[in-house]
């Protein structure tokens, strides 16, 4: 097995040309060209929403590209010919960011369900032995047993199983391994073991794609680096010919700087003292949570950094602090209103009308005069917001599902802004929203801030940070930096969000 | 190595063991109470009489458990068992071939329902609720008024005086072992539990989800057929509503036996014991001379007590 693989070293294994994919109005991939050769480890880097995940999903057959071609080991792998199943059959494996183990099954059983082909009577012993074999090879001293139930293991151990399972050859060949943040929950030792194994893996003539935000790992293992931004590959160089600064610059170059110079930029905010005295939101600094945070009346505060590094948790902590004093040290004066980013799971009530979806956030005001809701006022206010936001709908009583994603998001904004809450928390609300809606909402936020409302705005989009007065950058659940005014730039944010680069 | 690991494993394992023992303890406790109240029941015939009705309930419970294993809920199992009983009492004695065809078609519809639920991502409760009216309608068409006769061989089989232990006990042992092999030990069963635990993982591994779910529903249908035929063999005649209460009884028995609504956590042995317990609870209440009006409520109380104990075990075990 070793020899043919070694002989074909350097041959092109995967080739994507002009791969493009859009989700509604959002162009996630805008024509990506990518070549992966046998026997190399390629690092795929880029900020949130750069298109890495979409590219991986296209490669592994979970998503069909809108345009472009894909070749795997010389064969065309397009359209109907390429699916998750086919990709697996040709030897492509993925370890995804979210775990794909079944919590209720044992390790051996999880091994079995990952191998649709094998079927024999003594499968339990065999699957267990195979998995243990991989675990021993990659993570010596792992301390796991084949009859351990996954749900009873700590998250770090589960990740070991996930990785080891993917690296177990089984009945299918293994040509290309795609690892998406494989070390995110591994401890230092296990991460080092994995990286060492990856070198050994590609040394055998196989191919590995490594996606990680930890630059140290990228430079330690990869042969080549592919940098993505805005759905394009912007840089592809051998790892030896680049360095951290150049990588960070490539990831974070501003495309639409003009957003910053729009009228109504930060200087027009009311004379809110930026000190702690008049702050309506205050979070003291601590070793665990990093620097202190505060927000004054009328300020727009951005929470930046890579996705999932504690920004949403901070918003929820502020919400809890406003509702019942909270257990943490955070302090919020007055009520808060929340604008959800993930519309379908924690935003809209899919069975309700547009008007109801909007007014559900104002119930306290609507029943101010009597215990029953004031329906006339509800209607009138909903109409007002419809005009103010320019909602494109013939009737506010239509179901919310009749609106486009952007217009649904407008409704969620109206729900929060129509309430009396002085502090508005926004959880990356512009996900999958078209440009026109964004411009409307930015203006609205600016106007509301001028009237004294405070916004705490988690965003994964760089352009939006230019609409903020100050920005706190998160990394690993901690606030690692504060940027204000002209200091807010993508380079600075990227530098702060990558732990290694900021050191 | 195992010594170092012992502290990590033991609390979770202990909770799991207690969970498994709970239905057994409930059954033993009920049996003891029954024997204390009616010492004459402690004989071959007594036990046969006491647990006879549990045989069809066992199979209905296994059917429900299959569906629970994939995080679905089957609201049609009761009417389905009724329909099978009606087929058994009308078509079976005179046109056995047609009867077998009808049963096969019914199982096919079950499998189709499973495929539909997966393919269209429909809520199983809605589909099976709709299906339950279809089964009821078919049963009424076949047998508008109570009656019919079960075939001779079926009646004889259910009257069989098995050696050593009474028939219900043998049945319980056989079904428990068969269910355990199917769900807990076989590769297919592992896949089924995996589908209940994390459907995404199964899809990513490249399995045909529609086929798996259809298979689960087909097996549930087969268990339903067993339940219906044995029921009509015992009762010798049928009516369209003969097993309508089975829907809820089967859910109760499966949950009592350790299944969880979150999916992927089921125990066939527990389900069989749960079915015995639920049936025995009804007999016990009759022995206590409790009016039938109150019996349903009392059965509910027994269920609540057992589930309360389970929650208490979790609490003490520190799981929540």
Domains of chain A, start order:
2-252 (3.40.50.300), 258-502 (3.40.50.300)
Other Cβ atoms less than 10 A from the Cβ of A84: the count is 18
Is A112's CB within 8 Å of B190's CB? Answer: yes
In chain B, positions 206-245, which contact chain A (CB-CB < 8 Å)? 206-207
Give B318's contacts in chain A (Cβ within 8 Å). none
Q: Give burial (CB, 10 Å; 0-12/13-18/19+) of A184.
A: middle
The token pair at A180 is: 């998406």
pLDDT in tens, B83-126: 999 999 999 999 999 999 999 999 999 999 999 999 999 999 99
Is B206's CB within 8 Å of A148's CB? Answer: no
Let me know if residue B125 belongs to a domain. Answer: yes
Give B201's contacts in chain A (Cβ within 8 Å). 100-102, 110, 113
Let me know if residue B14 belongs to a domain. Answer: no
The token pair at A476 is: 């690993």
pLDDT in tens, A351-408: 899 999 999 888 888 877 778 888 888 889 899 988 888 887 888 888 888 887 778 8
Q: What are phi and psi of A470, to 5 degrees?
A: -140, 155
pLDDT in tens, A156-168: 888 899 999 999 8
Q: Which of B118, B129, B110, B107 is nearest to B71 (CA)?
A: B118
Let me know if residue B268 belongs to a domain. Answer: yes
Q: Which long-range contacts (CB under 8 A, 24 or more apart) does A77-85 make?
A: A84/A60, A84/B203, A84/B204, A84/B206, A85/A61, A85/B206
Residue A136 pLDDT grade (very low, low, confident, very high; cuts 50, 70, 90): very high
Let me know if residue B10 belongs to a domain. Answer: no
Is B201's CB within 8 Å of A113's CB? Answer: yes
Say whether pLDDT at A264 is over 60: no
Say whether pLDDT at A230 is over 70: yes
Between the CA of residue B67 and those of B60, B72, B134, B230, B270, what are the distances in Å?
A: 11, 5, 19, 21, 15
How far away is chain B from the Cα of A215, in angstroms, using its nearest Cα? 28
Of A84, A89, A105, the CB nearest to B194: A105
Residue pairs spanning A and B at CB distance below 8 A: 69
Other Cβ atoms less than 10 A from the Cβ of A467: the count is 25
Q: What are phi and psi of A15, to 5 degrees?
A: -135, 120
Let me know if residue B164 belongs to a domain. Answer: yes
pTM of the model: 0.76
The token pair at B263 is: 């999916």
Residue B247's domain spans which residues?
48-289
Q: Which of B57, B125, B52, B65 is nearest to B257 (CA)?
A: B65
Say whether pLDDT at A283 is over 50: yes
Cross-strand pairs, A479:
A290, A474
pLDDT above 90 as % of chain B: 62
Other Cβ atoms less than 10 A from the Cβ of A262: the count is 13
Give A123's contacts in chain B (Cβ within 8 Å). 187
Is A84's CB within 8 Å of B203's CB? Answer: yes
Let me know if residue B12 belongs to a domain. Answer: no
Is B12's CB within 8 Å of A116's CB? Answer: no
Q: Report the alpha-carbon distance of residue B120 to residue B138 in Å, rounded.
A: 25
Q: Report the alpha-carbon distance of residue A18 to residue A29 in Å, rounded.
A: 9
The token pair at A241 is: 């010919």
Residue A116 pLDDT grade (very low, low, confident, very high; cuts 50, 70, 90): low
Q: Which of A171, A173, A167 is nearest to A123 (CA)?
A: A171
In the sheet with A478-484, reading across from the earlier edge strand, the strands are A336-339, A423-427, A454-458, A300-305, A470-475, A478-484
Q: What is the pLDDT of residue A326?
A: 60
What three-state secondary structure class fits B73? coil
Is B187's CB within 8 Å of A115's CB? Answer: no
Is A84's CB within 8 Å of B204's CB? Answer: yes
Residue A270 pLDDT grade (very low, low, confident, very high; cuts 50, 70, 90): very low
What three-state secondary structure class fits A149? strand
Q: Report the alpha-carbon distance of residue B288 to residue A115 in Å, rounded.
A: 55
Lowest mean pLDDT among A271-285, A332-346, A352-366, B135-149: A271-285
Let me know if residue B147 belongs to a domain. Answer: yes
What three-state secondary structure class fits A455? strand
Please count the CA atoms within 13 angstroms of the CA of A34 that sit on its side-chain side. 31
How far away is chain A from the Cα of B123, in angstroms, using its nearest Cα? 16
Instruction: Looking at mean pLDDT, say which of B6-10, B35-39, B126-130 comes out highest.
Output: B126-130
Q: Which of A1, A360, A404, A367 is nearest to A169 (CA)?
A: A1
Q: Report the alpha-carbon distance of residue A174 to residue A155 in Å, rounded.
A: 26
Q: Which of A492, A485, A491 is nearest to A229 (CA)?
A: A491
Let me know if residue B27 belongs to a domain. Answer: no
Q: How many domains does chain B have?
A: 1
Q: Are B232 and B89 in contact (CB under 8 A)?
A: yes
Strand-pair category, A224-229 with A454-458: unpaired
Q: Report the alpha-carbon distance of residue A464 to residue A444 in Å, rounded.
A: 13
Residue length, chain A?
503
* Chain A positions with Cβ closer than 8 Å to B: 62, 84-85, 88-89, 94, 96, 100-105, 109-110, 112-116, 119, 123-124, 143, 145, 148-149, 152
Q: Report the alpha-carbon distance of residue A494 to residue A309 in Å, rounded.
A: 13
Q: Are B214 and B230 in contact (CB under 8 A)?
A: no
pLDDT in tens, B161-211: 899 899 999 999 999 999 999 998 888 999 999 999 988 888 888 788 999
The token pair at A5 is: 């693989």
Q: Report the alpha-carbon distance of residue B205 to residue B192 in Å, rounded.
A: 14
Instruction: Looking at mean pLDDT, say which of A58-72, A341-355, A435-449, B208-222 comes out highest.
Output: B208-222
pLDDT in tens, A408-447: 888 998 999 888 889 999 988 887 677 777 888 888 899 9
């Amino acid at each position: 097995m070793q020899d043919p693989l070694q002989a074909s070293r350097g041959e092109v294994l995967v080739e994507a040309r002009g791969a493009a994919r859009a989700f509604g109005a959002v162009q996630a991939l805008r024509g990506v060209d990518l070549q992966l050769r046998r026997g190399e480890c390629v690092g795929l880097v880029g900020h949130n929403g750069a298109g890495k995940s979409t590219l991986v999903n296209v490669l592994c057959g979970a998503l069909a590209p809108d345009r472009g071609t894909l070749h795997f080991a010389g064969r065309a792998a397009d359209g109907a010919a390429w699916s998750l199943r086919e990709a697996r059959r040709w030897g492509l494996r993925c370890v995804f960011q979210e775990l794909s183990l079944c919590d209720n099954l044992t390790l051996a059983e999880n091994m079995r369900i990952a191998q649709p082909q094998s079927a024999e009577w003594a499968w339990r012993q065999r699957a267990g032995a195979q998995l243990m074999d991989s675990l021993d090879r990659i993570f010596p001293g792992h301390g796991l047993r084949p009859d351990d139930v996954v749900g009873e293991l700590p998250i770090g151990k589960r990740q070991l199983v996930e990785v080891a399972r993917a690296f177990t050859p089984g009945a299918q060949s293994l040509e290309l391994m795609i690892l998406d943040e494989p070390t995110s929950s591994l401890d230092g030792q296990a991460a080092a073991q994995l990286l060492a194994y990856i070198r050994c893996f590609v040394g055998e003539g196989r191919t590995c794609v490594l996606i990680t935000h930890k630059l140290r790992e990228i430079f330690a293992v990869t042969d080549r680096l592919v940098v993505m931004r805005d759905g394009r590959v912007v840089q592809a160089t051998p790892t030896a010919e680049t360095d951290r600064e150049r990588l960070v610059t490539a990831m974070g170059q501003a495309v639409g700087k003009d957003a910053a110079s729009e009228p109504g930029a930060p200087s027009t905010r009311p004379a809110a003292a930026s000190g702690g005295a008049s702050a309506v939101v205050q979070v003291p600094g601590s070793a665990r949570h990093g620097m202190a945070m505060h927000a004054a009346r009328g300020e727009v505060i951005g929470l930046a950094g890579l996705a999932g590094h504690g920004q949403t948790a901070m918003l929820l902590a502020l919400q809890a602090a406003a509702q019942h004093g909270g257990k943490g040290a955070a302090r919020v004066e007055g009520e808060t209103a929340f604008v959800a980013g993930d519309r379908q799971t924690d935003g809209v009530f899919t069975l309700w009308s547009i008007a109801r979806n909007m007014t559900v956030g104002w119930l306290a005001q609507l029943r101010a005069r009597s215990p029953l809701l004031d329906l006339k006022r509800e209607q009138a206010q909903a109409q007002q917001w419809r005009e103010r936001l320019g909602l494109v709908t013939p009737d506010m009583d239509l179901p919310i599902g009749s609106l486009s994603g952007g217009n649904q998001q407008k409704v969620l904004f109206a729900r929060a802004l129509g309430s009396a809450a002085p502090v508005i928390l926004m959880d990356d609300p512009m996900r999958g929203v078209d440009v026109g809606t964004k411009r409307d909402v930015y203006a609205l936020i600016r106007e509301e801030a001028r009237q004294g409302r405070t916004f705490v705005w988690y965003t994964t989009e760089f352009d939006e940070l230019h609409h903020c007065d100050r920005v706190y950058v998160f990394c690993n659940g901690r606030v690692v930096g504060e940027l204000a005014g002209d200091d807010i730039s993508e380079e600075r944010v990227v530098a702060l969000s990558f732990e290694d680069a900021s050191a | 190595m195992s010594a170092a690991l012992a502290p990590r494993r033991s609390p979770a394992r202990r909770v799991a063991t207690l969970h498994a023992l709970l239905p057994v303890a409930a059954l033993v406790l009920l049996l003891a109470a029954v024997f204390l109240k009616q010492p004459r029941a402690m004989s071959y015939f007594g036990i046969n009489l006491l647990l006879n009705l549990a045989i069809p309930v066992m199979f209905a419970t296994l059917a429900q458990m299959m569906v629970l294993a994939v995080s679905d809920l089957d609201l049609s199992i009761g009417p389905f068992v009724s329909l099978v009983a009606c087929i058994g009492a009308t078509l079976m004695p005179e046109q056995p071939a047609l009867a077998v065809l009808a049963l096969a078609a019914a199982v096919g519809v079950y499998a189709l329902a499973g495929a539909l639920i997966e393919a269209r991502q429909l809520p199983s409760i809605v589909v099976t609720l709709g299906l339950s009216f279809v089964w009821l309608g078919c049963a009424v068409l076949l047998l508008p008024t109570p009656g019919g006769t079960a075939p001779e061989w079926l009646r004889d089989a259910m009257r069989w005086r098995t050696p050593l232990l009474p028939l219900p006990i043998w049945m319980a042992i056989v079904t428990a072992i068969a269910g355990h092999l199917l769900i807990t030990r076989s590769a297919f069963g592992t896949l089924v539990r995996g589908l209940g635990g994390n459907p995404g993982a199964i899809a990513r591994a490249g399995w045909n989800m529609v086929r798996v779910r259809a298979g689960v529903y087909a097996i549930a249908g087969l268990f339903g057929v067993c339940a219906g035929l044995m029921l009509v063999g015992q009762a010798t005649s049928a009516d369209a509503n003969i097993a309508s209460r089975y829907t809820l009884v089967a859910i109760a028995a499966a949950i009592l036996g350790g299944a969880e609504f979150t999916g992927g956590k089921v125990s066939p042995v527990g389900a069989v014991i749960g079915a015995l317990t639920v049936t025995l609870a009804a007999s016990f209440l009759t022995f206590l001379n409790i009016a039938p009006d109150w019996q349903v409520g009392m059965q509910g109380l027994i269920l609540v007590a057992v589930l309360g104990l389970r929650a208490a075990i979790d609490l003490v075990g520190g799981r929540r």
